[in-house]
């Protein structure tokens, strides 16, 4: 079946512009995560959506970052007034929520964002 898809795969933008990154999770997965990974670094948690619950936004680095998940499916991560330090690969993952926390996350291929 189809995996997690993300678009665009690459985005080059100028400092100060807004960008929108899209994630299509696996159908039926109620949990959706956004992460950021800078070159050679680990995954940085950004935001977590689970069903109809309020999202866990504790990882968003500033108020320039926001995310929505419409209809419990597609999610959009928006970065306003981009800065050069926002350059990274933005990864989306989805999972079913299983008892005992035994979720398996499936990652999309990521969006590589470059802010000039």
Partner 1 sequence: RKEVEQDPGPFNVPEGATVAFNCTYSNSASQSFFWYRQDCRKEPKLLMSVYSSGNEDGRFTAQLNRASQYISLLIRDSKLSDSATYLCVVNNGGMRFGAGTRLTVKP
* Interface with partner 1 (CB under 8 A): 33, 35, 41-43, 45, 48, 56, 91, 93, 95, 100-105, 107-110
For 19, the enclosing helix (H) or strand (E) is strand 19-24
Residue 38 Cβ, how far from partner 1 at the closest point, in Å?
Answer: 11
Taking the CA atoms of residue 111, residue 74, residue 31 and residue 43 in that order, the dihedral angle to the nearest 10 degrees is 10
Which CB, 43 or 74, lies closer to partner 1? Answer: 43
Strands 111-115 and 10-13: parallel
In the bound complex, what is the minimum distance in angstroms from residue 16's beta carbon to partner 1? 28
Tokens of 12: 């080059």
Give the residue with the Cβ less far from partner 1, 1 or 101.
Answer: 101
Of residues 38 and 83, the one with the C-beta less far from partner 1: 38
Q: Name the residue nearer to partner 1 (CB basis): 59 or 72.
A: 59
CB 58 → partner 1: shortest distance, Å? 9
Question: Using a CB cutoff of 8 Å and minimum separation of 24, what contacts does 48-54 make?
Answer: 49/75, 50/97, 51/97
């Amino acid at each position: 079946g189809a995996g997690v898809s993300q678009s665009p795969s690459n985005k080059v933008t100028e400092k100060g512009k807004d960008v929108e990154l899209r994630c299509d999770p696996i159908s039926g997965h109620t949990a959706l995560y956004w992460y950021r990974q800078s070159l050679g670094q680990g995954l940085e948690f950004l935001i977590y959506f689970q069903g109809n619950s309020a999202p866990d936004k504790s990882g968003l680095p500033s108020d320039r970052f926001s995310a929505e998940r419409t209809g419990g499916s597609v999610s959009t991560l928006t970065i306003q007034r981009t800065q050069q330090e926002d350059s990274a690969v933005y990864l989306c993952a989805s999972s079913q929520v299983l008892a005992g926390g035994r979720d398996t996350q499936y990652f999309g291929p990521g969006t590589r964002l470059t802010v000039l």
